[in-house]
Amino acid sequence: MALTAIDKALELEPDHTAWLLQRAQCFARLNRSDELIPLIDVLASRVLRGIYQYSTLALLMTQVGQREQALTLYQRAVELDPGEAKHYYNLATLQRSLGDVSAAEHNLDRAVALNPEDYEAYKIRSELRRQTDTDNHVDELEHVLERGIRETRGEVQVCFALAKELEDLSEYERSFQYLNRGATLKRRNMRYDINRDIDTMVSITEIFNAERASSATTGSDNTEAIFVLGLPRTGTTLVERVLSSHSEVFAAGELNNFALQMTKAAQQAGLSSGGDRDALVRAAASLDFRKLGDAYIESTRPFTGHTPRFIDKMPLNYLYLGLIKLALPNAKIISLRRHPLDTCYAIYKQLFVDAYPFSYDLEELGHYYLAYHQLMSHWDSVYPGAVHSVQYETLVDNFEHESRELLAFCGLDWQQQCLEFYNNKSASVTASTVQIRQPVYQSSVGKWRLYREQLAPLVRIFEDAGIDVS
């Protein structure tokens, strides 16, 4: 094991910075944050040598939320090696998460100038601001495509970048052509069966039914967690920023902890599913719910626990809503809803890193949405009143009223700074990282209408299912 070897090396040279840095990397891979953070603090006090040490410590700091400190190290890496494109890219992505959009764009310009094949840099740059007729990258991006891109991933990224910039310029037909080209290419190179996801949601509704919801169970008595969930691009980040602007709330990010703790508990109980999703759903219903709830809370430490409440904004927690209610009965759950076509179009035009494989084909996206819609209707019926539903369109139209309702549901006193969420200086690494630096706006409401013809497959699926899309 790598950690054992490094510990032996440290026995011989306990103050060797390179060994300490490798030890920290092992802790990061093992998710041992309670040991990683103190070691990062030790390394931060050391004199680092070489670009590798600066960049590696900066990455580790970013992973534990120490982004301001990481920024200084990435800037030092740029000073030491100004001809290396990846340093500017790393610096820019960190600046983007901290809201320094202008500096991020400047450094992405430098990154692509040094490495014209850094296609992810083109994509991120396109998302930093609204492009204008006099200041955009459309010609440059089309030239990149015409020049030829060897790897599929790069072509997909450039197509999504072009779609974003052309939509900003109100060239909607050209925008969708590039979007469809990129999404189709992405889907063609994926192995994914949507029926597995749909079948899993059906199994969840069958196993976590009304009878189980009303059964006498004992969960954790912890009161810290606030779950903000829903399909991506429905306003979850906006709600997170409103709530986390409150002095008693910490935004912990999109945590995968609940799913991981559920799987771990099933394995420890001898209920391992062996990759069978239905078996895992059945196993989850037989767990010790109090232990699961306590294990989840403990798994969020040491990042949580310094404020009375924390937010877990993992959208996919809608799959575990019934189990969350059993394991953490005092947790607050907030569900975001949005017009079906605005939801699906917003998802379709977002190039995700390693999530939401249903999002690159309109028909698959439509059928996934139907399954999600049915699952959320199920949760509403078996846990009436337990989930606070927020309609995105209502939120942006009547922002103060809806924000007050949110805080009241969470048992939080009103604080005026929650309306000024855009002044919240904390980092954001979601797809909405740029938007949440602005006051609330309504320009995304009804955007699907600009693409009514192109979204016809979705319209047909929803109308056939009896869902109103007017």
Average pLDDT, integer, range 412-418 = 96
Count of H-run helices and E-run strands, the chain? 23, 5
State the pLDDT confidence band at 349, using cuts at 50, 70 and 90. Answer: very high
The tokens for 83 are: 């001809």
According to the model, what pLDDT value does residue 424 have?
A: 73
- Positive or negative, the CA dihedral 427, 432, 436, 438 is positive
Digit-coded pLDDT (tens) for 283-296:
898 899 999 999 99
- pLDDT at residue 275 in the model: 66
* Tens-digit pLDDT profile for residues 10-35: 767 777 888 888 888 988 888 888 88
Q: Give the DSSP letter string of 50-107.
A: HHHHHHHHHHHHHHTT-HHHHHHHHHHHHHH-TT-HHHHHHHHHHHHHTT-HHHHHHH
Residue 199 near residue 401, CB atoms below 8 Å: no
Q: Which CATH number fits domain 1-82: 1.25.40.10, 1.10.599.10, 2.60.120.260, 3.30.390.50?
A: 1.25.40.10
Cα 236 to Cα 67, 136, 245, 391, distances in angstroms? 22, 29, 14, 11
Instruction: Read off the pLDDT of each residue in 315-329 and give the average, rounded to a whole number.
Output: 96
For the whole model, what pTM was predicted? 0.91
Is the per-residue pLDDT at 343 higher than 90?
Answer: yes
For position 180, what pLDDT does the model report? 97
Instruction: CATH 1.25.40.10 in the chain: give the residue spans.
Output: 1-82
Beta-bridged to residue 218, according to DSSP, are none
Res 48: pLDDT: 87
The answer, yes or no, to whether residue 154 has pLDDT greater than 70, is yes
* pLDDT per position as a tens digit, 50-77: 889 999 999 999 988 898 999 999 999 9
In this predicted structure, what is the pLDDT of residue 1?
A: 65
Which has the minimum average pLDDT: 149-163, 205-219, 243-257? 205-219
Token readout for 34 is: 């309670």
Residue 4, pLDDT > 90, answer no
The pLDDT, as a whole number, for residue 278 is 83
Instruction: Name residue 249's beta-bridge partners.
Output: 309
Q: How confident is the model at residue 354 (pLDDT cuts 50, 70, 90)?
A: confident
Residue with the larger pLDDT of the pair 421 and 334: 334
Q: Which pLDDT score, from 0 to 100, does residue 430 have? A: 63
Check residue 441 and give its pLDDT. 79
pLDDT value at 135 more than 90: yes
Decide if pLDDT at 393 tops 90.
yes
Convert the pLDDT of each residue in 242-272 to its tens digit.
Answer: 999 999 999 999 999 999 999 999 988 777 6
Instruction: Encode pLDDT of 421-467 as tens digits.
Output: 888 777 666 656 676 667 777 888 899 999 999 999 999 999 999 99
406 pLDDT tier (thresholds 50, 70, 90): very high
CB 227 within 8 A of CB 334: yes
pLDDT band of residue 222 (cuts 50, 70, 90) is very high
Q: Which fold has domain 194-464?
A: Rossmann fold (3.40.50)
Cα 62 to Cα 10, 70, 167, 169, 204: the distances in Å are 25, 6, 32, 34, 36
**% the chain with pLDDT above 70:** 96
pLDDT score for 274: 63
Q: Which residue has the tokens 């294990």?
A: 295
The CATH 3.40.50.300 domain(s) of the chain lie at 194-464
